[in-house]
Amino acid sequence: MFAICSKLETVSTLKDKSIKMVFYTQLETTPEEAVKIFEMNQNEGWLVFAEDKDLAKVPDKPVKKKDSTSLSQQQRNKIFGYFENLKFYHEIDQDEDFEKFYEKEMGGNIEMYNAKINYLVDKYENDYTDYVGE
């Protein structure tokens, strides 16, 4: 467990209806605190935010929520994240439409699988015809 005085700076909703919260530390962190924070990066856990330090009570065991989104929805979310990063870093036009971008990406995936299928067919076609005696 780790506790540090911080300020909730920004709150926003994401496309998947989750909430993004950005915190800033109020005081300069020690090297040990910074190491602990970086070790926790990308980990799942409980967030307790209280205006009074004495009110911050942590549950005994966090209950890991099962991801209820389908694999196709997870893929769409990842493509959306990629799309947003491309816009942020000005790799694509800021007015680019996500739906058109998504269709293009999915079309690319379909072409990739077609190429994989064709590769396998070409690779084993001679072996198969030898096996069936043609």
Render pLDDT for 92-127 as a digit per residue (tens, 0 to 9).
Answer: 999 999 999 999 999 999 999 999 999 988 888 866
Most trustworthy range by pLDDT among 5-14, 30-39, 89-98: 89-98
Q: 75 and 125: one domain?
A: yes
With respect to residue 60, please indicate whether it lies within any of the assigned structural domains.
Answer: no
42: left (phi over 0), alpha (psi -120 to 50) or beta: left
Domain that holds residue 37: 6-52
Give the pLDDT confidence score for residue 116 in this predicted structure: 92
Closest of 44, 62, 2, 49 to residue 23, by C-alpha: 49
With respect to residue 61, please indicate whether it lies within any of the assigned structural domains.
Answer: no
Q: 127 and 80: one domain?
A: yes
Choice between 129 and 3, residue whose per-residue pLDDT is larger: 3
Which percentage of the chain shows pLDDT scores above 90?
Answer: 23
Contact 102, 79 (CB under 8 A): yes
Q: Quick check: helix, strand or coil at residue 24?
A: strand
pTM: 0.45
